[in-house]
Structure 1
């Protein structure tokens, strides 16, 4: 299809010049991109703005490519069928559809809208900007506005404060009541007595007093133990200095960084070096390395937690043997049911709420591969896990029953024990003693194989007990909470892959501490000021406010 594209240029003294061009195709595309059939240089024109399709018989279809639509004959449309004489306005350009000239199938004329015409159009659309243009005076509207403001925002709220029925009527209508005087929405914890302003504001036109807060919060732990924190900034601070209501449902607790950094950025100086904490002012730029709580055991067997600064050579002494790299092999690991591919979630399940992980459970997570069977004649029967006394008792009972009933298949056993007896058949005392002696020896032999051979020693350190047939398994010492001075939740990190923070796939020893350090967290988290593609994280994002373990607010 052959188009005539005619550009009209205005010269001085009203003279016009024409520049004709030819376009071939079904459509004429219009925009600011270089690939458009009709290229317009106005910055108000989109890269791909509109398109015109010749339908034949002098008819055209005009379509807008942008969601805002285009102006056709003075109205905004998205798609319209029209004929010659139709005018399209895009930016400072006017495009008129014309009847197809001779030797052409369609045609358009493009001209520039004169500035005077643009200004006149804008003036017609412009609303009045001065009071004189509205034919009104200044005094009467000012008095009306004053009386309306006085009535709506002073008289009505004041009357509703003293007349309860009126307050109910105003709240059900779109009119201001005494709630219009509130500084903002109450915190969610204070909504249940939100109608009783005097519950907190015991004195009119005065700040909330600490004694008003303690009416309800007397049993709250003291925020500033005067012995542990002998600082005037804490001991003399008002409740409202940190807890300011009327800031929305979640605005009662201050979350700005200065709440903590005002003291902690110069803590060593203010405490004359007595504080054990390092100075800190910003997580992204001024924060000491993380400290983890590692479990330690005294000679008396008592568990204590020791806080240790994280370092590349720090190791965990958990008392368990577990190579993560073998279990996370992409090819899978051999199991009784065939090769099994494990992922982190196979063993690590989040606890309710998603904050921490549930303890690893042998029966549900390990026993499918690590069977505790002990006799080939009954492969489905297994000894209990982590219960040494029950294991010893179970083995004694199992082999004693077999020996007494004559079900022994062991070729090394006495021949009299390998002959099955009828139910109720009596057994001679000498044979009974022989059966029980064999059963005891067999149970000790199988137990030795379980504890020191094919089962327990795969994951645990096992040593002989004080008596023959007794064993001691080293206890597992895994920290339940690594960062006891901070709070972390896995629920907010579900979009991350596990190996983004835990290098388990490269770990060949359970001694490796697979807890991320501060550098790992700083890949996503910056301080309060944030940064490009970084999460803004203030102090209270990870830390709670220090509280006394034995004092209450009323004790101060």
Structure 2
């Protein structure tokens, strides 16, 4: 009640029902509750309608009993009190009922008791693991084998490992007291509201420690990342028995779409050595020498079709440094190119998928070129071919031509008579000298003729009488003279991966023609041309409009192998 305000003169405090009462008069539902109401323990205290008062007039000693029934209860009754001073109107006792407040209290206490009982039964019994499991685990984190690994890492028996939960949640391996202590510790440190409203990354270091026990090679993103995210932020478990929940693109955008995060990453990169920032490439793979952007890969990206930058190899117009001289346009559209198996050459004639179907096998001379580019050293002796791949072997072959002719006569022509073999060798050597004048000329032509200069030759399907079916090593290769030593033929190195920071799967694009993505293949005349698709050509399909997947994880993998030789201290510093 506000200060200065007084209750109405007709206010009967004794009949005011306060909300803190636990019991109400049983006659309240009839609109005639008794004035005194139930006791605190819920017993009816009703007796009579009033409590008569003894009134003694001046000069009298005996006095008279008078009714004190209030007006709203009918006023003074006509019969008045009994001679002994008892009210003549006895009140029928009621059965008090609990107030709303009391009923709420009972329900709340009962609910708490039931919950505690269920927790005690569920957490303290043999079904504890299934009781606390919110949903089935993925196959990778369940089953007998995972339980065995969990037991091994936790140094406990397989039976104690249960479903393998202990591998990720080591705290559940104890008894109920230990589990309660674990929960209390989380409540003190992990349930603060500020921890849930602040942006990622969250601190789940205890869970991460369990993850890296098995996934030791999956700890790193780029070394310059401002702060590593917890494994459980992106990799969500307990989502059912299917595969592990796919990483959402929003997890990537949380950092790559945040200007502050990218700025911090750029600043951190400036303090690290280039070795720490290099992409780890699988052994044996050839990749182009692509320079890292000055600010690192810190451009803001909200989506592949929205503001993803152009692919670096296209944006920077990188050249293919492969020393092999090759003309795509000539092979795909040239009229002088012979057919292969009755069909004109196409991309698939040379570019064959590997066993996985994701990438292409390396093009090799023996498998892809020799069928057209014969290395026949003498047009009059088909089948006698120069060895390919080793300049020393080629030079030795040329300097032992009589022996090579003789061996060819025996193995390929079936000659057995020594005189016939000698006559065959003499005729071939004489004819070869007539066309090349000397052995030195022949060796020089084999190594350095490039089709534009040197002796006349037959190249691939071009007809005409000449020394050989190939111009010389320099027609396709970079050849460097070394005085009297064997010329140096630079080994071609075509990159296996043009985009080492992304993954690609050719097998998922078999419904498309190669030139749909590699559009410049039919017009490219130089090896230096990098015939790679542009980012916009990929967006045509990989976008909400195109319908194909455009999540970051479609092409990128968050994890990166830790650089070789990384010390434990430096590893810790990077992760901080």
TM-score (norm 1): 0.53
Q: Which of 457, 477, 495 lines up with 1:479 in the alignment?
A: 495
Q: Deviations over 1:532-556 (max 9, x none)?
A: 3332312222111244323679956
Aligned twin of 1:538: 551
Superposition map of 1:429-508 within 5 A: 442-453=438-449, 454-467=471-484, 470-503=486-519, 504-508=521-525
Aligned twin of 1:350: 353
Aligned twin of 1:198: 166
Unaligned runs of at least 5 residues, structure 1 = 1-149, 168-176, 293-308, 408-419, 425-433
> Partners in 2 of 1:355 and 1:552 — Cα distance?
35
Change in 2 beyond 3 A, CA 1:252/1:442 = same
Q: How many residues align?
A: 347
Secondary structure in 2 matching 1:464: strand
Change in 2 beyond 3 A, CA 1:215/1:552 = farther
Is the 2:358–2:504 Cα contact (8 Å) retained in structure 1? yes
Secondary structure in 1 matching 2:209: helix
Aligned twin of 1:380: 383
Is the 1:222–1:551 Cα contact (8 Å) retained in structure 2? no
1:244 CA drift (Å): 2.4
Query: Considering only CA atoms, is the larger Rg found in Structure 1 or Structure 2?
Result: 2
Superposition map of 1:104-253 within 5 A: 162-163=125-126, 179=130, 182-191=133-142, 192-193=146-147, 195-203=163-171, 204=179, 210-211=205-206, 213-215=208-210, 217-218=212-213, 220-221=216-217, 223=219, 228-229=223-224, 231=226, 233-234=227-228, 237-248=229-240, 252=244
> Partners in 2 of 1:374 and 1:464 — Cα distance?
21
> Partners in 1 of 2:266 and 2:372 — Cα distance?
58
1:262 equivalent in alignment to 2:259: no
Is the 1:158–1:178 Cα contact (8 Å) retained in structure 2? no
TM-score (norm 2): 0.51
Secondary structure in 2 matching 1:521: helix
Is the 2:139–2:243 Cα contact (8 Å) retained in structure 1? no
1:403 CA drift (Å): 9.3
> Partners in 1 of 2:439 and 2:383 — Cα distance?
18
1:374 CA drift (Å): 0.4
Greater fraction strand: 1
1:310 equivalent in alignment to 2:261: no
1:291 CA drift (Å): 1.6
1:460 CA drift (Å): 2.0
Q: Deviations over 1:496-526 (max 9, x none)?
A: 1111111212222222210112111111112
Is the 1:451–1:457 Cα contact (8 Å) retained in structure 2? yes
Aligned twin of 1:51: none
> Partners in 2 of 1:511 and 1:405 — Cα distance?
40
> Partners in 2 of 1:324 and 1:286 — Cα distance?
32
> Partners in 2 of 1:485 and 1:179 — Cα distance?
41
1:198 CA drift (Å): 3.1
1:450 CA drift (Å): 2.3
1:355 CA drift (Å): 2.0
1:254 CA drift (Å): 5.1
Q: CA RMSD in A?
A: 4.4
> Partners in 2 of 1:345 and 1:338 — Cα distance?
13
> Partners in 1 of 2:120 and 2:398 — Cα distance?
84
Q: Which of 325, 329, 338 lines up with 1:325 in the alignment?
A: 329
Change in 2 beyond 3 A, CA 1:259/1:209 = closer
Is the 2:221–2:558 Cα contact (8 Å) retained in structure 1? no
Q: Deviations over 1:226-262 (max 9, x none)?
A: 9x4363x42xx44322332112456546521222222
1:213 CA drift (Å): 4.8
